[in-house]
Each structure stands twice: as structure tokens, then as C-alpha cells.
Amino acid sequence: MPEERPQEEIDLWELFSVLWHWRKVLLAFVVIGTLLAGGVAYLIPNTYQSEARILPLGGEGSKLLTYTLTKSATGFSGMASLGNLALQNARSEILGALSGQSLYLDIVEKYHLTQRISAKTPQEAAEKLRKMVSFQDDPKTGVIVIRVKGRTPQEAKELGEYVLKTLKENLRNSFVNSLQNQINELDKIMASTKDTYVLNKLENMKLNLLEELLEAQIDPDWKFKVVDPPSTPVEPSSPKRLLILGVGFIGSLFLGVFVVLLMEYVKSRRGASP
């Protein structure tokens, strides 16, 4: 008497038999699904991504603030803490500017990018540009990586340069305006007092602020240093055409198996009906 095969082997054999019986339908699903995925992958336009690396720099800040904190600090540890504080402030300002909307609105308006980004208003263009920019902060190396997408390699690189240039200008202008306001306040106080001692102190403070103002205006590495300028991408970053084809193939295969088994079930039910 022949030995019976285990139930699992019988089920697998029956499954294979069903799939082989409906192989043409299954093949049609796989071919059509893969072709559709290939068409979608082909129609999606290429997107290129430029990458730049910047290093936030510490030591900036108001000379008046530096003078006050240094007086209260003791030894080199106090100076190191002051430097770390300035570095953290610079990093926070950079990340905050990259996360906000005003930076991208300034870029759109300065370089007239509304129509180029296919937007109706500068605000809409700024929102689209913000979504084209991503950044990553590496606390181990201290480097901030900024990635900008574009429809062509040249556009991606150019937009990356716009981001870095406008970022530095905005940070510089914000700091310069703050220093100028402090200088104006000192001028008001100096105009209202005749005490020689107080005037000398205020004059020294003003000189420190003016020195900081000049440094902020001429320092090319203000707030951050460009470690690697925006790159010119060689290969598109998206779409991942091979991945889309793979997903289309596997998805259509599973769908085809499901439909075939459903058709076989319906067929068997009809055959079992009286």
C-alpha cells in the first residue's frame, strides 16, 4: 500500500497545481503589473540632491556680554564654558533658521524663484522650497549637513548656494541690528549723564560693541564655516526605479496569486453545487 504524503505536502502540491493551471492568468498579472510599475518609474521626473557641510563656530556674541561673563568666570574653565555657550547659541540659531519659513521666503524674493519653483505666490514658493531642503545635525562631529533637491544637478547646487548665502546674511544682519540697537541705547545713556567715570565706562562698552560690529560685517566665516560647499550631484536621488520595478513585480505576483486562488475557489464551489 503506497505511503500517504503529509497533509502539508499535499497542500503545497495542490497549491502548485492550481497556480500551474492558472499560469497564464498569473503571468498576465505579473507582466501587466511590472509594466505599469515601469511606466510609473519612467514618468516620474528625476530629482537631484546637492549636499553641503557647515561647521558652526563659537566665540561670537556681544563684546559687552563676553566682558560681563568673563568677569564672573574663574580660570580657563569659565572661558571654556563661555565658548561652549557661544557655540551652542550659533548652532541653535542655524538650526532655527533652517527650520523656519522666513529664510526660504527671503531666498524666493531675493532670487525671484516664484515662477521657477512653479508657484503662484512667494509664500507658496517658500513652502515648496522649504520641503526641498533637509538638514542633519551631527553632535559628534559638530557638522550640520544640508541637502537641497532640484530638477537638475545645476539647479540643486545653485539652490544649495542660495541657502548658504542667505542663511549667513540673515544671521549676520540679525546680529548687526542687535548690536546697533545696543549702541543706540548707549548713546542715549551717554547723552543723559555728565559723570566722567560713567561716561568712560560707557565709552569703553561702545568701543567693544563697535569692534564686534566691524568684525561681524567683515568676517567671512561668521557663525559658521563652509566645510564642503554644495556639491554637483552625478546620479539622481529619486525616483528609485529599480525599487519601484521590484515592488511592482512582487505586488502584482501576490495579487495574481490571490485572484487565481479566488477564481479556483469560485470554480470549485460552482462544481460542488447540485
Q: According to the model, what pLDDT value does residue 72 have?
A: 44
What's the maximum distance between 2 C-alpha atoms anywhere in the chain? Answer: 122
How many degrees, rounded to 5, is the angle at CA 22 between CA 21 and CA 24? 115
**Residue corresponding to grid cell 524663484:** 113
Listed as ranges, residues in the chain with pLDDT below 50 are 1, 7-8, 10, 59-80, 82
How buried is 273 (Cβ within 10 angstroms: 0-12 exposed, 13-18 middle, 19+ buried)? exposed
Q: According to the model, what pLDDT value does residue 226 have?
A: 93
Q: According to the model, what pLDDT value does residue 209 have?
A: 87
Name every residue whose Cβ is closer than 8 Å to that of residue 40 and which is 6 or more positions away in sequence. Answer: 244, 248
pLDDT in tens, 169-188: 999 998 889 889 988 998 88
Domain residue spans of the chain = 48-228, 241-274
For residues 94 and 56, what is the distance between their CA atoms, to the nearest angstrom?
8
Q: According to the model, what pLDDT value does residue 79 have?
A: 41
How buried is 197 (Cβ within 10 angstroms: 0-12 exposed, 13-18 middle, 19+ buried)? exposed
Using left for φ > 0, alpha for ψ between -120 and 50, and beta otherwise, residue 255 falls in alpha
How buried is 56 (Cβ within 10 angstroms: 0-12 exposed, 13-18 middle, 19+ buried)? buried
Fold annotation for 48-228:
Bacterial polysaccharide co-polymerase-like (3.30.1890)
For residues 178 and 93, what is the distance between their CA atoms, to the nearest angstrom?
14
125 sits in which H/E element: helix 122-132
